[in-house]
Structure 1
């Protein structure tokens, strides 16, 4: 399931390519025909991401709510104005690109092992001629079909004169009134990139400290904190050396605060790079390697049976709320 950084990246893509523009909407799959007919011909006015959900507003106070869930993804095509802080080697946004980025091809890293795209002042415009997956990249020729042909089960197609966004496989795709949208957001836990992070920290700490639920489950509860999924959950707990089974109310307050502050850091890195980079203190070469390959990017996630990078103890995996939980039974004892 896409975690919070992916949804914020998608929102920024919509902000640059759709907000302020009239949009033609359709439902090639046929499962959102009525909603698409309401949106078609309206101007997109605002976009917000909160945790794993995105909200796109249109004229007359109509909001489109999208929750990608496990299988959802947005595919962008056409003339794409890319936010320099979220540049990617492909057109797909949603299902996290765990395969990594070919750094030599996209030139996103400088000699210091940092994302040099953040220093580029002007956005880049990229031409994409086909639906692009995590395995394909390319540039269009000027004779490419427009709009691009529909491929697969497209729940919703949003189209401007220059840019196309196709939504596939979402858990939720619905229209909301402003009150309904506000109520949805109110049910979500704090997101470091929405509102005041200090207020979000206090809300998170107070919620966790009164719960008997294990902290490993609380971090995945979107009403407690927004955006954390399976990868970030495992990595945050390891970085804090926190046992995932400890009830929230028994986790020391300073650890709870550090979990929030670490989430602030890791979310920002994820939005910037498009990768869930959770290891610190890497050399430039090690950082490049980690950015290109998931196996070199995480402390414990997806490392069941492998030695802990700190103590050598075998990483264990267990089921927690129907999701796999990875942790070190020594470092996180």
Structure 2
């Protein structure tokens, strides 16, 4: 109000506040902070206690309906809360572990994780300065709610009928020579290569991915098998050159493990990279040549969305 300088919370007509229920499957800290944060925000945008009480009835009703036993009360901000430190502070490099929270899980995941961290990286360990309770933090994450899960399922089901039918799955001159038996033009795939050699060693396997057609990636693999300067391109090419240097005959067969969507700017998630990491972690028999350090590599499919590529 410009005439008297008073202000209070405003909500649009017919706008009913709705909050997460106190019994929902959310981390306890989040449920505890919901009413406190609402109370703090309403107090900040109220000039005095009278204005606060005039406008908080609907918010109190929404909290009661959501199962919270919390009474909204006016708490003016203290003067020292706005004091900022002008000194430059060193930013710590913190590694966050965000396990999904579920009330169905009886194990204290955060406590167990920190205990394992302490056991595996004691103070005598050379990596202790990188992995300790000050540099590694735990914070539970929330999974999608039931509505989001149902909407996502419905969208995926309905979009199947609208997908553009690919006219060709293979463009090889001789279909019999296709590395994927007539499916070499498939895009956004996680694939597996199986190497059979004439020596006594067991068959070796390699898992890779490509956002382009498999045939494009296959051509790059063949180039790394022929060109000595590209022998270190992948773990697969390293192994092939190892066999070639020993004059060991080998045969490579290819198969598609999964077709998934690449990086999406809306979700910030790349299912293609996630599926590749899943097979390396959970299906080690499918990826005997892959190294564990491949799990920490950043998603390369997000690079095309960087601002520098649009200038």
What TM-score comes out, normalization by structure 2 length? 0.22
Rg larger for:
2
Higher relative contact order (CA 8 A, sep 6+): 1
What TM-score comes out, normalization by structure 1 length? 0.21
Q: Which is helix-richer, 1 or 2?
A: 2
Q: Which is strand-richer, 1 or 2?
A: 1
